[in-house]
Amino acid sequence: MRFALLLTLAACTATTDAADVPAFVVPDFPQFDFDFGPLPSTDADAGGDGPGGETRVCCAATDQCAPGELCRPPTTGLSGAEAAGRCMAPPKGGCWSAEDCPAFYRCDGAVLCSCEGACDTTEAPGLCAAEIPLGCCTDDAACGDGNSCVFGPPAPAVEPDADAGPASPSDADVASPEPEAVPDVGDADGVSPDPGSAPDATEEDVVEVPPPPELVVGRCAPTLGEGGCWTDADCTAPKTCAGATRCDCDTTDCVMTSGTCRLPLQGECNADSDCTDGKKCIASGTCGASCDPKDPLCCDANFCATVASECTQGADCSSGTCLGGSPCHSWCSPPTPDCCYGNKCLANLCVGANPQGCYHTGCGPGLGCRITTQCKSSSCTCDFAVGWKCVDDCMGGVCVPSKCPGLPPSGCGLSGCPKGSSCVIDPKGCVPSACECDEATGSWNCTSDCDGGTCVPD
């Protein structure tokens, strides 16, 4: 209509004088006031258009995307501002990045345009492919000869925090929405956009890829010999693995340490090696009736204790007496050296040989026992607490060189008797009162009387 009006005006101008043409008056057109209300706002920025004409929404984190969408990095056009993330619907079984895959997977083959700039390629999700780090494994075969695949400890159960507020949305919070059927209206020329990037692909156009399995990944470690272990399965029941440290594949501050197979602890210890600082494992508690009650493996409440026994029996002590100390086995009552530790020898203050004379003990070959001016007690006994206790007399005698051995056969009439005895003349016996040794012949020459007497206890 506008084109026809211009032609008419041009014709009039060419054939009619300007004075004959009435003034052109623009008619009053009605005016319309359209109120669309406030436009919706979002933290994400609108980027360029995708190859299918859809608006690409920029993001730095998933919480900036619409519900059900994830913030994913582009695979093309990574420069400057174009490196910003992109809000995308979760792919069905595929991946836009490794964040869409389980642990120890990478995302292969994904094509995702940058947030801004031209997008002249077909976008399509990739597939999750397993990627096991060097030194890690899923079975023994991956570790080679002499090594085994050792798996880390199970993850502890996480108790929900009742006091915690609602968490910010994250990738884990975004579930793949159920696909909605979109009518296949096509574009102005009747050709549908590329299903890899167009928002109007139907559910039948999308091939659902099964999600990859979760991988249980361990570390390669040397296969251990007899007695060594990584887990209880390496030990023969009822032994268990003690002291082993197993690390997850993705843990950097953990050192793999093998353990040893051992019986479960009976109390604090099963053997001295379970104790520290030189302590000893003491068998205690209830002990089996058919085994040694001193054996910790026989009892159920053993404990570690410092022990420094001087003796286990009297023969170990110069005093001849070993006193039971502590600690003691629980069945030991009263405490005796054979079932206690920390035993002590009774102190012996009797220094040196017995100081008594030769009256009771006699002398060696070529010696005779004689009572002289040197005072020797006839008898001494040892009291460990105070020392030697001797009879208060001088009747012990001393050993002197003589061919006449022993004491003179004369009686006690002239020499007297040791303390605690008396000299008695026995009418039925004859004991001379004095005798003298004949060193030339080695015989005694005695008096012919019988008045010597004999010492008898009081």
Domain boundaries in the chain? 44-151+196-215, 224-262, 367-457
245: confidence class by pLDDT, cuts 50, 70, 90: very high
Q: Let me know the angle formed at the C-alpha of 429 by 424 and 433, rounded to the nearest 5 degrees.
A: 60
**pLDDT-based confidence at 206, cuts 50/70/90?**
low
Q: How confident is the model at residue 15, as a pLDDT?
A: 44
- Tokens read off for 428: 């039925």
Q: How confident is the model at residue 105 (pLDDT cuts 50, 70, 90)?
A: very high
Q: Name the nearest CA neighbour of 150 among 160, 138, 166, 168.
A: 138
Whether the ω angle into residue 327 lies within 30 degrees of 0, i.e. cis, is: yes
Other CB atoms within 10 Å distance of the CB of residue 181: 8
Mention every residue, 6+ apart, whose C-beta is less than 8 A from residue 439.
402, 403, 404
- Is the predicted pLDDT of residue 107 greater than 90, yes or no? yes
Are 109 and 101 in contact by the 8 Å Cβ rule? The answer is no
**Phi and psi at residue 9, in whole multiples of 5°?**
-65, -40
Residue type, 407: L
What does the pLDDT look like over 166-205, one tens digit per residue?
Answer: 544 444 444 433 333 333 333 333 333 343 333 444 444 5
Q: Residue 21: pLDDT above 50?
A: no
Token duo for residue 40:
């919706």
Phi first, then psi: what are they for 377, rounded to 5°? -65, 145
pLDDT averaged over the chain?
Answer: 76
Q: What is the pLDDT of residues 394-436, one digit of tens each?
A: 888 899 998 888 888 888 877 788 878 888 988 888 899 888 8
pLDDT at 192: 35
Distance CA 173, CA 62 (A): 10
Angstrom CA distances, 133 to 107, 141, 458, stand at 15, 15, 102
More confident residue, 151 or 38: 151
User: Over 60: is that where the pLDDT of 297 sits?
Assistant: yes
The residue among 151 and 331 whose pLDDT is bigger is 151
Question: Please, are residues 219 and 247 in contact by the beta-carbon 8 Å criterion?
Answer: yes
Model pLDDT, residue 392: 87
Question: What is the tens place of the pLDDT at every residue in 355-394?
Answer: 998 888 888 888 888 888 899 888 898 887 788 899 888 8
Supply 236's token pair: 């023969």
Write down the pLDDT at residue 344. Answer: 85
Task: Please give the model's pTM, rounded to 2 decimal places.
Answer: 0.43
The pLDDT of residue 54 is 65
The pLDDT of residue 39 is above 60: no
* Residue 77 reports pLDDT greater than 60: yes
Q: Which helix (H) or strand (E) holds 280?
A: strand 280-282
Confidence of residue 84 (pLDDT cuts 50, 70, 90): confident
What is the rounded CA–CA span in Å between residue 342 and residue 332?
A: 14
pLDDT of residue 348: 74
pLDDT for 108 beyond 90: yes
Dihedral sign, CA of 121, 123, 128, 131? positive
Answer whether residue 68 shows pLDDT above 50: yes
